[in-house]
Structures are given as C-alpha cells and as structure tokens.
Amino acid sequence: MSTWFITGCSTGLGRHLAEALLRAGKQVVVTARSLRDVEDLLSRYPGHAFGVSLDVTDQAQIAEAVESAIERFGQIDVLVNNAGYGYRSAVEEGHPADVEELFATNFFGPVNLIKAVLPGMRARRSGAIVNISSIAVRITPAGSGYYAAVKGALEGMSGSLRKELEPLGISVIVVEPGGFRTDFGGRSLKQSPEPIDDYAETAGKRRKENDTSNPSRGGDPAKAAQAMITAVESPNPPAVLVLGAPTVDMFRAELDARRAELDAWEEVSSRTGV
C-alpha cells in the first residue's frame, strides 16, 4: 500500500487530494499548520490518515514530520508539495519581507521536504515527487510577478530534479492549475499593503478589492485531485500536468506566442553565432 505525504491539507487542492486518497484506501500523512483544521479527516480514516502539524518554513518541523511519518507507515512513496499561498503586487510595490516569506514557503519549504524524503526514495529506487505550481508561470499576469517568480523557481528546480532522479526510478511532476473552486483567492492570497496609483490599470486590477473574477466558476478541485492521482500512478508520468480546460488553452496560446516570436526574431538571434 502506497503512502502519500501531502503538505497544506487544511483547504483547497491538498484537502481534496488527501480525501480522495483516503477514500481509495491509501495511507496519507495529512499535514497542516493546525491539526484542528484536519480533525474530520483524521477521525473518519483513523487507520489510514496520520496527522502531522507542519509549518514548511520550519526545517526542524520538516525533519520531525518526515521522521514521524516513516515511523508510522514505514516509508514515504509520494511527496506532494502543495502548501503555499499567492501574492499580488506590482514588482515595485513588493515589500522585501513579504517576498522573502513567499519564497520561504513556496520554494525553500518544498526544497527542504524533497531533500528530507529523497534518501529513502533513492534507497528503494522508487517514489514520486509532485510540486504544485501555477499557470501564472506561463502567462505572468501583471500584479503576480513575485508569485510567477517563485513558481518559476520551483519549476526550474523540478526540471533539473526530474533529470537527476529519473534514472533512479523516481518521478517528478509539476502541476499547473488554473482557477479552481478553492479559497486560494481569499485566505490563501496576500498582497502588498501600499498600492502605487500608477499601476492602477495593470497590477491594481488584480488586487483583492478590485478583482472581478468569480472563484465559484472555477474548476472542480475533486476532479483535479483525481487527475493528479492518475498522473502519479501512470507508468509514464508527465513532466508538467496542466489542470483545467481553460488552463490548457492558456498554456497552448502562450506556447504559440513564444514560437511566433522566436520565428520572428530568428535571423537577429542567429547572427550571434560563430
């Protein structure tokens, strides 16, 4: 029986993934900063759910969480780095402490968890690492520069990690969701405290108080969870799993735009060769 270790299970995609796996009879290490937020999952699946309090910015907690998970279930087969939050700000508006916290949570937290689980996965020559990213990496919306940057860092690291681990029997999957019916745009979204008027028509439109998007019209997080399970359990897992039909369209449009620009500038680019 496989054991999944999932960060950020209190809400959103992490919670839906944990619940789907538990219903399927998998063993799941259900983590959250406060276990009160996942008490219902722990009580409904006492034989398969193991709750661990975890702040992914705390390296000591990461080590303790991984150690206790291995003591409970014997090994970790799948690590899902889901914990994180969004940050909206014009680049000029970004507060250094906010940006540092964003990277500590969304990048260095996953890196430290990966380093904690890899010795066991390498010893067994099996395992999977799933890093939750965002379509923001592709479309880089105004007002999401720092969020796109931190997810871009996560994806860049994941691409190299995949090449390092594939020969060892360990898969690495990046998941790029678009909009889903979660609280990502609410509790899980922070923004710069002091907007600059000159960015009102660009980054300003994505501030919470000005955002006109409707989260209730997003994708189904339960279906997203099933898609992630399918990808992990596939004999040929994708390097990047895009979630949501509109997200697929955005991804393809961005690829087409970059290809068209590359073709348009090919002559100039090629002149730099020897």
Q: Which residues are part of the catalytic machinery? A: 133, 147, 151
Cα separation, 222 vs 268, whole angstroms = 47
Confirm if 218 and 16 have CB atoms less than 8 A apart: no
255 burial via Cβ count (<10 Å: 0-12, 13-18, 19+): exposed
Give me the sheet containing 3-6, strands edge to edge: 49-53, 27-32, 3-6, 78-81, 127-132, 170-177, 240-243
Strand ranges (E), 100-234: 127-132, 170-177, 189-191
* Helix pair 221-233, 12-23: axis angle to 10 deg: 60
Cα separation, 44 vs 102, whole angstroms = 33
> Which of 184, 175, 249, 258 has the alpha carbon at shortest distance from 216?
184
C-alpha dihedral (227, 11, 40, 29), degrees to nearest 10:
60
Other residues' Cβ atoms within 10 Å of the Cβ of residue 115: 13
Q: Which two tokens stand for residue 96?
A: 């250094």
Spatial CB neighbours of 138, under 8 Å, sequence gap ≥ 6: 176, 250, 251, 254
